[in-house]
Amino acid sequence: MRIQRFASALLLGSLAFAATASHAEGLRFFPGLDSGFKFEPTLALSAGVMHAKAADDNSQLVYGLDFSMNCGLIQTPDNRIRTHIQINHVNESNAKATSFELSPRYTVPLGGGFSVGVGPALALVKADNGHNELNLFGYGVAAGANFRKGAYYSGIDLRYLNTNERNNVEFENWALMAKVGINF
């Protein structure tokens, strides 16, 4: 319960921060349709540890793909919103799940190719507890630190995801993942 309250507060805080920071200069809607807009896509492999409420073990191996780009739906004047689309999979002990996650993040450059970002996370999780296999809706918050230099990309993400419960299947979890990939 504390994790849910913390994640909710962090989610609301990150949304308020992003709205306040971008409100002063104005948001652009559908900038991806503008000529000259640069999506700057990145594709990365990710792996890390996950702790799921439904699992007997304290942590499990989680792996997947992370695709990120400058958001083409809503954007700040200085292109600080990056959308991360992730597909993650875990298959250990009693926790088997595949998640499709969407996380637009307000990103702040730190210089030298480093940046940090935070934002909400929405997900569709196909979870199996050994008795039932269901599709669950998930929501939460994600934060990450990234390094981009030429074609090289690496990063680390910390993400909390809460899911609804149906037929005794739930998949509330947090994950810490490292990523390495390529900038296009």
Residue pair 170/163 in contact (Cβ under 8 Å)? The answer is yes
pTM score = 0.82
Q: What is the per-residue burial (b if ≥16 Cβ within 10 Å, else e) of 138-160?
A: bbbbbbbebbbeeeebebebebb
pLDDT of residue 130: 76
Name residue 123's amino acid: A
The per-residue pLDDT string of the chain (184 residues; one tens digit each, 9 = 90 and over) reads: 555 555 555 555 555 555 555 444 689 999 999 999 999 999 999 999 999 876 555 688 999 999 999 999 999 999 899 999 999 999 876 668 999 999 999 999 999 999 999 999 999 999 887 778 889 999 999 999 999 999 999 999 999 999 887 777 778 899 999 999 999 9
Residue pair 137/163 in contact (Cβ under 8 Å)? The answer is yes
